[in-house]
Structure 1
Amino acid sequence: MNFIHAKQKAAIDVERLGLITSFVAVAEHLSFVEAANALGQTPSTISRKVTRLEDSLGTRLLERTTRRVAMTEAGRLYYDQCVTVLGGLAQAEALVESLSTEPRGLLRISIPVAFGRLHLSSAILDFMEQYPDVRVEANYSDRFVNLIEEAYDLVVRIGHLPDSNLIVRKIAANKRWVVASPGYLARCGTPLVPADLATHSCMSFTHYSAGGNVWRFQRGDDVEVVKVSGDFRSDNSEAVLEATRRGAGISVIAAYLCHDSIRRGELIPLLTDWSSIPEAGIYVAFTHAKHISPKVRCFIDMLSQRFRSPPWILD
């Protein structure tokens, strides 16, 4: 018989745990004085608590004489159950404490396709080697996911996330370059100001220009808005990069994706005294700043350290 659940009135609360702890101490020491010393209380306080516990259960747990204390049959059964319960509570607290300090468990993240493939895949593997108790589910997608409804711990995105319900941190600098191949520029000429783009074949990454083929630029306080057109659009930034390298037109491409092509001379930066807007920093977003889990905190710290001097920043 499980005496803990024998009666509805025996539901465990903080006060009852105190009574149980007192009884267990007496049962283990077979002495009210020694139990009181162990718990830092007076013998009379311990005696009152054990009596209250017995009254609530409707049975005697201890036989008391002037010389000795002994457990009744009910007391022995109850003691065994109480030790199991108290041990389980201690184990649960230890587990929670370890979760609050050591990264462990499943980390679900959503990351952009190209950036994830080029720069995050190896970072994730390094993170898992450093924290072997963490499992990672990485979903590669350029769509804006609902972090809460889709149960992600963390999302990585290019450009600032507008959702005010999320905690957003910038982990790396980045910018968008206006680029074209040397072959295209030799055939079609080089635009010198943003307005010149209206007469060129411009290719769009649809997640950047979701509102239409409208490109925006800023230089100091000046802002230029240009309606562009071209024969190729894609929701895959790497496809736009390849089309640009092959001379199909001009595009706006994130530095993390095109920096190697620029260094190799496959692409030429254009309008370098203008900045493409909106800005394109690398951000992470999560839900709880006060109670951020160790796995999320350590992953963000690792990314921030890794991309402190990102390889795509051109001199």
Structure 2
Amino acid sequence: MEISTKRSKRKRLLTAYSFILPNFLGFFIFTLIPVCFSLFLAFMEWDSFSAPKFVGFQNFIRITKDTTFWISLKNTFLYTVGVVPLTLACSLGLAILLNQKIRGMKLFRTAFFFPYVTSLVAVAVVWNMLFHPSLGPINQFLELIIANPPAWTSSSDWALTAIVIVSVWRGMGYYMILYLAGLQGIPRELYEAASMDGAGRWKQFLNITLPSLRSTTFFVTIMLIINCFKIFDLVQVMTGGGPGRSTNVLVYQIYNEAFVKFNFGYASAIALVLFIIVLSITVFQFKWNQIQERA
């Protein structure tokens, strides 16, 4: 009886492992090995045509003297500072609005979520048409209000702002869904008790809604920051890093160094620096969130 039980347990374990094995194999082949190889290349000079040459920390020394890297880093931070708070505010506002019992609520939720699952290339092309300096409907409308509307993606001063606007518009529907889940988990009794105590909508929002959504906001913020530092596709399609280097971001520079200039070692070094920056920000946020929860 005991032997039969052990065999049955072993069979169940083998069945379970067989289900998760493809995921582990995929992670090992397509994620772990490339990441380890990238760490190895960060200390090498390699153009993919010749054998890798060990150069030590030369790639990292080169980073400190590379003006394009510092411009890309600044643009990445500016993009993050623009996208994160705006997306948080818009997604939370939409979630609160669409958490009400209104007619056609599911249709509205679907409409706001739809941009997130739409082809990003199609989204970027359409927005480029909308942002056209002379023929785009955005500037045609703005000309009724101001004399000289921005040139958007054709202007080094406004191109990054245009990408921020598109990113917020595309992402807020996804994060709205996360906030909706958080809002629906807040007990209605809290609002009823606050209403009986004379608290208005604004006080209920500040003292009930926001504190109850702290964990959701923390998760959304982490995901937003990571995604902002990974921005590439919108930049590639909408501006190509230009005009000049005004929208050149870190991932776009990594792409250029690796697949345009074939400096795979230097590109890997920039990727390692990017990884350290994102990891540092994430760890800081986790520590800050722990301090806030204890307070």
**TM-score with structure 2 length normalisation?**
0.24
**TM-score with structure 1 length normalisation?**
0.23
**Of Structure 1 and Structure 2, which has the larger fraction of its residues in strand?**
1
Greater C-alpha Rg = 1
**Of Structure 1 and Structure 2, which has the larger fraction of its residues in helix?**
2
Between the two structures, name the one with larger relative contact order (CA 8 Å, sep ≥ 6).
2
